[in-house]
Amino acid sequence: MKELTDFQKKFFARGTGNKLFTQEEFDKAVTIAQAEIMQIAIDTTKTAIVIEREECAKLVDEMRKDLEDTDAPMVLDITLEQLAGLIRNRTKK
């Protein structure tokens, strides 16, 4: 941790003589900040899940592409296509 300057030490020792916040105002501000942080965390997690699903579906699409020049059954191609769609559109039940 960085050492405080003499000015900072004197400032903190004396203070400003003014109350910046009441405890109630501070608690309310902290509660609001916590709610905002949680909302950002939820939104970020949702975005990460969408990105991961899309990348998984792309892997399935690449598998389908690799099967184009083979004599794989058509049902496999259709199944992989459906699987990619299910991965992309998966929602919570």
28 or 4: which leads in pLDDT: 28
What pLDDT score was predicted for residue 39? 98
Summarised one tens digit per residue, pLDDT across range 35-57 is 999 999 999 999 999 999 999 99
Amino acid at 70: T
Residue 10 has pLDDT above 80, yes or no: no
**Any domain includes 40:** yes
What one-character DSSP code corresponds to residue 55? H
Domain that holds residue 54: 20-88
pTM for this entry: 0.62
**Any domain includes 13:** no
Split into its structural domains, the chain has a count of: 1
**Any domain includes 2:** no
**Any domain includes 84:** yes
**Any domain includes 8:** no
What pLDDT score was predicted for residue 11? 72
CA distance 29 to 71: 65
**Any domain includes 37:** yes
| 70 Rama class: left (phi>0) / alpha (psi -120 to 50) / beta | beta
